[in-house]
């Protein structure tokens, strides 16, 4: 059951600031701006357009009829010259250089942290608002880290240069953080999460288009009795589960797990919330699953939790115990909404202050491209 209830901003437990009609509309996943190519729209650049998220940027921009007066498709020198059709026109991919951002209003970046660190500030200096999908700026205290349904007020001070604004960077959170907090934040606002334990089951798409291609190739090879090709992960991915491929840190956690810890605290503006995570790669193509155990400051029963989530924007509940029907990565693939199910009281607690959830979301869409475009919509 998907709620169409209008979303009202909340920041933790404080009264929300007023929102413009346009900003309220941008938070409803089913709504679109409905304008597309128009003379008074912003100039938009897509950085890393030939990658998995870059291609998804274009799909989401088109499906949501995002307004633009002109569009620049940017990538590496290797990809320059490629032809990409978009909304009835054919665009030529341009090589990404500092001059690419001349006249650009909004730049959607998904070309890796190195490119973002190098050219993000260049775009800002030229007056662009950069929405960056990498980890380069997420923990910078001067850069808002935004999930539009969760903490839109974090970017309320940023305006397009044509609206008396100036260049700035807005960071897209990590995919696993976005998917988790979409399902958890509505409950957090009601009962205040004091501890969260997350186990993630992450898809190939999080490692890029090449990883998705290798998973498909390995699956065919293994079924044919051949040795699997292992270039991206250095081990068999098909029919397997293994610890996330990000670097291990001295504390025994990997970088992906610590992203979830640190980003949750920043987005919720709460350094006291206790978060721990275990992140795994599973052989799914483009959607993550996450098991979440929550401990609350105040009591919260499962029926009330369902009522809260039914009203949450961008969330759909799939929680049919009789039919054993719950969210799956396959079921949410290519979908905008994050699905929540397996909602149940934590039986290890006797005080109604614990819940267990299962959350699934499309890593390329809400976990990356859709969230970034929603951020851009809030600038309009």
Q: What angle do CA 158, 28, 106 make, to 5 degrees?
A: 35
Per-residue DSSP letter, 367: I
Q: Which of 188, 279, 288, 360 is catalytic?
A: 288
Active site residue 190: no
- State how far the Cα of 195 lies from the Cα of 273, in Å rounded to an integer: 6
Per-residue DSSP letter, 86: E
- State how far the Cα of 37 lies from the Cα of 40, in Å rounded to an integer: 9
Active site residue 6: no
Q: Which of 6, 175, 279, 360 is catalytic?
A: 175
Calculate Rg over the CA atoms of the chain.
Answer: 20
- Are 115 and 47 in contact, with CB atoms under 8 Å apart? yes
Q: b or e along 294-310 (b: 16 or more beta carbons within 10 Å of the residue's beta carbon)?
A: bbbeeebebeebeebbb
SS3 state at 180: helix
Sign of CA dihedral 136, 176, 312, 372: positive
- Are 182 and 314 in contact, with CB atoms under 8 Å apart? yes
- State how far the Cα of 334 lies from the Cα of 23, in Å rounded to an integer: 24
What is the full DSSP assignment across 302-364? HHHHHHHHHTSTTEEE--BTTTTB---HHHHTT-SSEEEEEEEE-TT-SSS-EEEEEEEEETT
- Are 196 and 292 in contact, with CB atoms under 8 Å apart? yes
Residues recognised as catalytic? 175, 288
């Amino acid at each position: 059951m998907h709620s169409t209830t209008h979303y009202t901003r909340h920041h933790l437990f404080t009264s929300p600031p007023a929102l413009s009609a346009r900003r309220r509309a941008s938070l409803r996943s089913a709504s679109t701006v409905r304008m597309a190519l128009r003379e008074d729209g912003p100039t938009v650049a897509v950085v890393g357009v030939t990658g998995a998220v870059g291609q998804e940027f274009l799909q989401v921009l088109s499906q949501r009829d995002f307004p633009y007066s002109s569009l620049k498709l940017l990538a590496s020198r290797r990809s320059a010259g490629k032809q990409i059709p978009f909304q009835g026109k054919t665009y030529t991919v341009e090589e990404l250089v500092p001059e690419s951002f001349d006249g650009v209003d909004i730049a959607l970046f998904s070309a890796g942290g190195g490119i973002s660190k190098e050219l993000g500030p260049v775009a800002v200096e030229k007056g662009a608002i950069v929405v960056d999908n990498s980890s380069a700026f997420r923990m910078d205290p001067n850069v808002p880290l935004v999930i539009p349904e969760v903490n839109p007020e974090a970017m309320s001070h940023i305006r397009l240069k044509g609206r008396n604004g100036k260049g700035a960077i807005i960071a897209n959170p990590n995919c696993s953080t976005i998917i988790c907090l979409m399902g958890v934040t509505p409950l957090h606002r009601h009962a205040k999460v004091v501890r969260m334990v997350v186990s993630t089951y992450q898809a190939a798409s999080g490692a890029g288009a090449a990883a998705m291609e290798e998973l498909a190739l390995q699956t065919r090879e293994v079924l044919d009795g051949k040795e699997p090709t292992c270039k991206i992960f250095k081990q068999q991915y098909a029919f397997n589960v293994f610890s996330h491929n990000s670097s291990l840190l001295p504390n025994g956690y990997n970088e992906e797990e610590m992203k979830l810890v640190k980003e949750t605290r920043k987005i919720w503006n709460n350094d006291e919330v206790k978060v721990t995570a275990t992140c795994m790669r599973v052989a799914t193509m483009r959607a993550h699953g996450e098991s979440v155990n929550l401990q609350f400051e105040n009591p919260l029963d499962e029926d009330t939790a369902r009522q809260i989530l039914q009203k949450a924007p961008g969330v759909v509940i799939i929680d049919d115990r009789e039919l054993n029907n719950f969210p799956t990565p396959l079921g949410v693939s290519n979908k905008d909404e994050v699905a929540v199910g397996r909602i149940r009281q934590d039986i290890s607690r006797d005080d109604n202050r614990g819940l267990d959830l299962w959350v699934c979301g499309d890593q390329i869409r809400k976990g990356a491209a859709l969230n970034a475009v929603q951020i851009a919509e809030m600038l309009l």
